[in-house]
Amino acid sequence: MPQGLQVVVTGIGAVTPIGVGADSYWNALCNKKSGLTTLPHASSPPQPGDIGGIIPDFDPKAFVRPRKALKVMCRELQTSFAASRMAFTDSGFEAFLDQEASFDRGRIGTVFGSEMFYGSPEELAGTIDTSDDPESSPIVHFGKVAMKEIYPLWMLKYLPNMAACHVGIAVQAFGPNNTLVLGDTSGPAAILESMSCIERGIADAVFSGAAGNRTNESGIVYHGRVPLAPAASSPENWSRPFAPDRGGMVGGEAAATLLLESSELATRRGAKTLATVVGSAVRFVPSQQRGSQRAIELAIQAALKQAGRQSEEIGLVVSHAMGDPEQDAAELQALTSQLSQAAITTPMASTGHCGAASGTLAVVTGVLALQHGTVPPARTSEAWHKDFPFTLPSEPQPLEKRLVLCVCHTAQGHAVAILLA
């Protein structure tokens, strides 16, 4: 990071299964609320993949302008837009741009993390039925039928880069525009790229967000290698990060956005700094199992070195634990080797695994923890070993050490660590 240049967070937005809006999300997290429920496609009794964290009462019309854009937005694009609109307003940046008409919009960037977006099976069910011919393969007829029946702009609804596109157009961000698709680490990687744009002097402010969905049947089939949580006594208890009896992840859907600015611009416009990114790093070390302990360790070490801080200064870890026996173990081993003591919170116990959005939502959680000076409780902490090596708050507690580590990693061995102060 260039000498004297700091990147600060001035706005946040969140659309989650436990709350729409950063305040609603935070209050639900602190009250140990679960957003997990039976999904529409569920069988009876529910089987693995039948429970997930879906966003209740989300009305895209309340956020998306112009409304005609909704016809080329899948749900993930709608939630991305909503979270970005919240960050835009929350930061005071919208009001600033209204007053400063001469501000160079080419200095505003839009960098998002994303993933493959999947249409629901019902969307193509009619076309597939029409293509069915007992005397030949449906593939022979599908192309001809699809050309007649599918909405011509259907593909635009599902392109991974369209979240950054729609947001960039809406806020008139004419600067760097990019989309990173790196699985679970897409969002945090986009934050690092956003910071790089500011540090290199090609932008003064960047909207950095991500959206993801692990409740869609098509996506569940595609990600079949990831173990799904077995049935539990009630839906809200299916997601059990770090628990000894964990058996897999529970899917969720969410979107989150941060407005990152140079400290110089934030000061000039009188913006409130919610948090400062003091260190960050990305590392890749492949592993024969899901998750790479070494990659997580190296990312944490590099982030601490960049920040000039010691691991003993960390007061909170926002974990990426999801309930996968192997990936959770890799993270826990890495944290144990690098940290002496800290409190841990596991947002996925409440929201489920929200794909590319999970990492960005973790950073939003870290920002909120600093804002409120509070460590949010770990929802399923009572299920963990009594000799668990880190603090497991069952209720909100004061954040005494104001350095927050946000960790995110993939099954393939890609890891990102971000330090907030």
From residue 390, give the alpha-carbon distance in Å to each of 314, 340, 381.
12, 8, 11
Q: What average pLDDT score do residues 6-17 get?
A: 98
| pLDDT at res. 385 | 65
More confident residue, 224 or 236: 236
Average pLDDT of the chain, as a whole number: 92
> Domains plus CATH for the chain?
7-117+159-420 (3.40.47.10), 121-154 (no CATH)
pLDDT digits (tens, 9 = 90+) for 258-281: 999 999 999 999 999 999 999 999
| pLDDT at res. 224 | 63
Q: Please, are residues 396 and 367 in contact by the beta-carbon 8 Å criterion?
A: no
pLDDT digits (tens, 9 = 90+) for 336-381: 999 988 999 999 999 999 999 999 999 999 999 999 999 999 887 6
pLDDT digits (tens, 9 = 90+) for 131-161: 887 777 777 778 778 787 888 888 899 999 9
From residue 358, give the alpha-carbon distance in Å to each of 121, 135, 137, 164, 289.
24, 46, 40, 17, 21
| pLDDT at res. 230 | 85
| pLDDT at res. 142 | 81
| pLDDT at res. 74 | 95
Report residue 383's pLDDT band, with 50, 70 and 90 as the boundaries: low
Report residue 410's pLDDT band, with 50, 70 and 90 as the boundaries: very high
| pLDDT at res. 164 | 98
Beta bridge partners of 211: 255
pLDDT digits (tens, 9 = 90+) for 82-125: 999 999 999 999 999 999 989 999 999 999 999 999 887 777 77
Q: Please, are residues 355 and 184 in contact by the beta-carbon 8 Å criterion?
A: yes
Predicted confidence (pLDDT) at residue 33 exceeds the cutoff of 90: yes
| pLDDT at res. 221 | 67
Q: Residue 185: which H helix or E strand, with range?
A: none
